[in-house]
Structure 1
Amino acid sequence: MTASHDMLKPHNSSADKSRVRLWLRLLRATRAIEGELRERLRTTYNVTLPRFDVMAALYREPEGMLMSQLSKYLMVSNGNVTGLIDRLTSDGLVQRTLRDGDRRTSVVLLTKAGRENFEQMADSHREWVNELLSHFSPDEAETLAETLKVFASDWEGEAR
């Protein structure tokens, strides 16, 4: 039997099954929490989760972000971000400025009203997450968060 043939054989080890089970539980937990947060944002603030996410990204960058940076940060297409930014701009929550007079690139940032609006939503969001994850002690939450750092993303920057 060759090494390549061994790679084609199905793996049914206990470790394989445990990892698949872990992935499914993480996925279910994420979907359940995200669904609840979507609903609460919609009913409490009449805002979508993508809109909240855009505002959160811009809140972390008070000097603003290029549209391309924002797309990458949120892991969505430029077209999706453009529509959200257009609506946030028309609502007076975001402003768009040209970067160095270049009409092809614009920097977007929260307005004063946008920052205030986001801060109110973020406080509620934090309370809801704490409520939804209250069955974890602070130590358990910290341990699990530390364990899951292997999945660090662009928005986290360096390991925290």
Structure 2
Amino acid sequence: MRSAISPRLAMSILRNGMSILPSSRASAAPKAMDKPILCQYHYTVGEKRAMPTAIKIATRAGRDLPAGNSSRDHLNNKLFFRLFQAANIYETQAMRELGFSAVTGATLGALYRDPEGMLFAELYAYLGVSRQNLDAVLKGLEKKGLVERIEAEDDRRKRMVRLTQDGIEAWKDLHQRSLEFFRQGTKGVSATEMTDCIETLARIARGLRAIGPDRN
């Protein structure tokens, strides 16, 4: 995707799908969506003329999904694209508005909850990231003086990660600035919808964690 997308347009896409016309081209009576086309990630986005000109992600019109895809497969496809899309928009907006990546903010938040710190293995399992990714994040935070790694009291072979005093202050500041950011992101979403979404995402996360050789 090479065309620039404004934050407002991105959030509209996330909420409403791809059937959004630029105001300069919108007609009094929008055309109904009929024949679908696919984007790069095989996500059904609607007919070509209904797509915004700022987004050039459509492939050939009329191409169908491979044979054998059930309605459940179609929903799965749409769901995981939305997760992918939302995560990338969140990451981009968090860096721009807050000055922290999503994983950095989540790391600081997780460590703030436990004054004694967390084992490195517990932290990456809790965040759902790889050891390598977390190690890179922690090295960046260590350089800024926000976290430190120390030996575990019960086993010197294990490493604990905890916030420094500067890290505590950094998290408090980030948390306050995040409140309005999150309010804007969930504008128009009810508390009930958010609760349902939280529970659904937790179930999906458990399902993904369970994938393995014996998944069938």
Q: Mark the CA change 1:110 to 1:10 in structure 2 (over 3 Å): closer, same or farther.
A: same
Q: CA deviation at 1:128?
A: 0.6
Q: Larger Cα Rg: Structure 1 or Structure 2?
A: 2
Q: 2:168 aligns with which of 115, 122, 132?
A: 115
CA RMSD of aligned residues (A): 2.6
Q: 1:27 aligns with which of 79, 84, 92?
A: 84
C-alpha distance in 1 between matches for 2:201 and 2:105? 24
Residue identity over aligned pairs, in percent, reads: 32
Taking structure 2 as the reference length, the TM-score comes to: 0.55
Q: Mark the CA change 1:148 to 1:96 in structure 2 (over 3 Å): closer, same or farther.
A: closer
Query: Matches of residues 4-153 of structure 1 in structure 2 within 5 Å?
Result: 10-42=67-99, 47-100=100-153, 103-152=156-205
Q: Which structure has the higher relative contact order (CA within 8 Å, separation 6+)? A: 1
Q: Mark the CA change 1:19 to 1:56 in structure 2 (over 3 Å): closer, same or farther.
A: same
Unaligned runs of 5+ in 1: 1-8, 154-160
Taking structure 1 as the reference length, the TM-score comes to: 0.70
Q: Counterpart of 1:108 in 2: which secondary structure?
A: strand
Runs of 4+ in 1 over 4 A off after TM superposition: none
Q: Deviation digits for residues 61-119 of structure 1, max 9, x if unmatched?
A: 22111222223223334343334333323433223221238553221111222112101
Unaligned runs of 5+ in 2: 1-65, 207-216
Q: Output the amino acid matched with 1:18.
A: L
Q: CA deviation at 1:10?
A: 4.3
C-alpha distance in 2 between matches for 1:87 and 1:24? 30
Q: Output the amino acid matched with 1:139.
A: T
Q: Select the structure that is richer in helix.
A: 1
Stretch deviating more after TM superposition (28-37 or 55-64): 28-37
C-alpha distance in 1 between matches for 2:168 and 2:137? 16
